[in-house]
Each structure stands twice: as structure tokens, then as C-alpha cells.
Chains A and B, each alone.
Chain A
């Protein structure tokens, strides 16, 4: 398991997974995720954030994807949250949690600083989990269908083609890394040797990618591509079940807010 989510694995769960959330209309899931994200951004209440994290984790469990995957995928957002909150206990003034006398100065960890750091980490992790819930259970072609409807032609063509090529690019990069490893490339420890190695490999890879782009464009042109890609409608009808999911998730969020006291909309 890598630090970054495996795009192939996400796609496998999204396209072939079978869970109650897979059967929910994408719009209902997107509205729920947006509501969770907005709440996470505006809330500074620790209890509310803990409750939101538990609710989002529960929704992720409903995807039937292995929890070890989405927990490991939280590494990048967690590390970023951790890196920006690590200094807060030392710099935010407040009641002392721990105080150490060094030779020249005194280091104090404040309770308020620790709480602020914890709040940032909770926000970061909850927002990322909410996204995993929707991408693990929504066919990417369905998402792209709405993208195509929502965005102008240039952008929708770029999105569709990028999606089409992301898998090929990731696969080729994986092969390239294996090839470098097999030739002892991973043993290089010198800074400039590594720069030169990766620069040349990525340059060659870029050329190969561009050649592929040319071949693809020629093939598309031969088939009558006029700058517009038309997707067949794969979308489901918004059913009563979808409405029930949307109403219940929004009600749960409202209830959760009400229970965990007022939201401090400090940011607005």
C-alpha cells in the first residue's frame, strides 16, 4: 500500500463494487459530501468534529472497501495537517500542559494549542474520508457524465481524455519505476545523479506520452472527432430511495450539530 491512493483500486471499487452506497444516485452522495465538507470547514467545535468523523467513518464502512485502504490513504492529508499544526502547542498562548526548562529558554506546551492542532487534524481527516466515501462508490463514468453536462466543451473534453489516460500513465510509470529498480537505479544516493536519472526518464516518458497523444488524436480524427465527445447517458433516475438517503443524511448532520451544541461560525 502506497502513501497515495491507488487509482486503479479506487476505480475497481467504484465500477464493480456492490454496497448500499453504490446504489445511491451520485447527486445525493455529492450533496451529502458537500454538506459534510462545509460543516467541517465552518466548525471549530471539537465534539462536532469528533461526531462528524465518526459519521463519515461509518459511511466509509458502508462502501465495503477494506478500512485499511482508506486509513492508509489518509496519510497525505494527515501529514499535511500534522505539519501545519505541530507548532501550535508551542506558539498558542494558554494554560500550560507541559513545561520544560532548557538552558537558555523555557518550552511550554499549551492546552489551547494542542486543542487547536487536534481540531485541524480532525478537520483534514474527516474531509478526506468524505471524499473517499463518494469516489469509492460512484462510477467514474457517471461522474464524468455530469461533468460533461456541467462544463464547457474544451474543459469537458480535457477532463474525459485525462481520465482516459490517467490509468495508462500510472501503469507506464509503475513499469518505468520497476525498470529503474531492476537496473539498480534505486541504489543511487547522489543528489545530482538522481536529478539527472529522473529528468532523463521523465523526459523520455513525456516524449512517449506525446507520441501516444498524437496517435490517439489521429485515430479520433479518422473517426470524425470534431472537438466534442458525446457520452451515452449512463445516469440513474433520482428515486425515492435516493431522496430518503439525502434527507436522512442531511437530517443526521443537522441533528449532530444540534446535539454537539452551537457551531462557532468563526470563519465567516
Chain B
């Protein structure tokens, strides 16, 4: 959800730094998933298609927003496959002008690390503290999305000379959307757990 929607708002130096970080994380994720069960890879690929499809839907909540469900994919697929899914979704977004080649590194870090990986980590670590999937899903998603929104604003602040008011407007918009996405994600996770899906408590 919190990602840089267009090319050319970050200077070249920062584009390269974020690309370097993304490639490093990509290497780690590929190493960790080298012996992954092909069934889970296929499942994650289809979840990535789901996330990309969802991004094209304008949800008529508040002023109309779009979601991406990367925290949900992280929770369902695990951190490393979740990171790979974030990279794949970013590549597809480039194809429709939603994002960009040079900002794809920054976007992969935002969606992969701050949303998919962080949400997975929060969802699994809070298992004992918050046993209810509905609440735990909402908390994990909301926290990861808010941190991701702050990270995105931080990335912009490091690279682009925008006014503090602009950063504040972006933060308010993304935190507002985080409320919506975390509630919908919680309802989906609750629905999946009610249906007895083994996806919700992925190892």
C-alpha cells in the first residue's frame, strides 16, 4: 500500500542504494527458498497475481483507495516467499506505469521488508499474546503498514526536497488507508480460519 507510485521522485543515488538493498534481500530470500516445496512457490505466485489484481480495484471507502495485501501474503506465504512476491508484484506494476524501474528497489524494500516480512513476524510472534486471528491479523497488518508508511516518507525525505506539509499529508493518507487494509485483512484471515484453512498458521 505504502509505495512510491511514480518514477523520478527519488534521486539516482538513492535509487541505486535502494536497488542494492533490494538485491541483497532478494539474494537472501532466494537462498532461504532454494529448497522450497514447489507447491508453496506455485501458491505464492497465485497470491502475487491476487495482490496485483486487488491493486487494480478502487475500494469505495473514504475517498477511494487501493490495497495491495502484501502483509496478508507475508502472513500466508512466510517472509521469504512474501519478499519474492513483493518483487514480482513490483515488476508487474512497472508494466502498467504504477511505480517505476528506478524506484522498484525502494518499493520492493517497502512492500517486501516493511509489509510482508514484518507482518509475518508480528503475526507469528503475537500468537500467544493475541490468540484471536481476527485481532492479531488486524494488529500485525496495521503496525506493518504504518511502519511502511513512515519508511516511505523517510525514503522520500532522504532523497527529495519536499515540504514537511507534503510528508504530513502523505502520512495521514497512508495511515488512513492502513486502517482500511488492516480491517479487511483481519476479516479475510478470520474468514480463512473459520473455513479451516491451513494457510493462516503457516510455518
Contacts and interface: CB of A to CB of B under 8 A. Distances in A.
Partners in one complex: yes
A56 B12 CA distance: 20
A64 B29 CA distance: 41
A210 B45 contact: no
A188 to B, nearest CB: 8
Given A3-B58, A41-B15, A131-B94, A209 B187 contact: no
Interface of B: 4-13, 15, 26, 30, 33-34, 36, 38-39, 41-50, 52-62, 84-85, 87-89, 91-92, 94-98, 100-102, 156, 160, 162-166, 169-170, 180, 183-188, 190-192, 195, 197, 199
Given A207-B197, A213-B42, A213-B46, A83 B52 contact: no
A200 B94 contact: no
Nearest to A113: B163
A204 interface: yes
A107 interface: no
B102 A124 contact: no
Q: Which of A76, A83, A214 has the most CB of B within 10 A?
A: A76
Q: Which of B45, B61, B62, B192 has the most CB of A within 10 A?
A: B45
Contact of B97 (A77, A161, A194, A217): A77
Interface residues of A, number: 84
A132 to B, nearest CB: 6
Interface of A: 2-5, 7, 10, 33-34, 37-38, 40-42, 73-74, 76-77, 79-81, 83-84, 86-88, 90-92, 120, 123-124, 126-128, 131-132, 135, 152, 154-155, 157-166, 168-170, 172-173, 177, 186, 191, 194-196, 198-200, 202-207, 209-210, 212-214, 216-217, 220, 225-227, 266-268
Nearest to B48: A162
Contacts of A268: 11-13
A131 B5 CA distance: 14
Given A5-B97, A91-B165, A154 B41 contact: yes
Contacts of B96: 4-5, 7, 10, 73, 135
Nearest to A209: B50
B101 A37 contact: yes
Contacts of A91: 163-166
Contacts of A213: 42-43, 45-47
Contacts of B95: 10, 131, 135
A217 B186 CA distance: 27
Contacts of B195: 207
Contacts, number: 245
Contacts of A41: 7-8, 10-12, 15, 102
B46 A155 contact: no
21 contacts: A37-B102, A38-B102, A42-B11, A83-B170, A87-B166, A87-B169, A88-B162, A127-B102, A131-B95, A154-B84, A155-B26, A157-B38, A158-B45, A159-B91, A161-B49, A162-B88, A199-B184, A210-B197, A217-B43, A267-B13, A268-B12
Contacts of B13: 267-268
B132 to A, nearest CB: 15
Nearest to B60: A194
A196 B38 contact: no
A217 B39 contact: yes
A157 B166 CA distance: 40
Contacts of A210: 43, 46-47, 197, 199
B6 A83 contact: no
A130 B36 CA distance: 37
A157 B97 contact: no
Contacts of B49: 161-162, 164-166, 168-169, 209
A157 B98 contact: no
B15 A76 contact: no
Given A83-B169, A135-B95, A268-B13, A217 B38 contact: yes
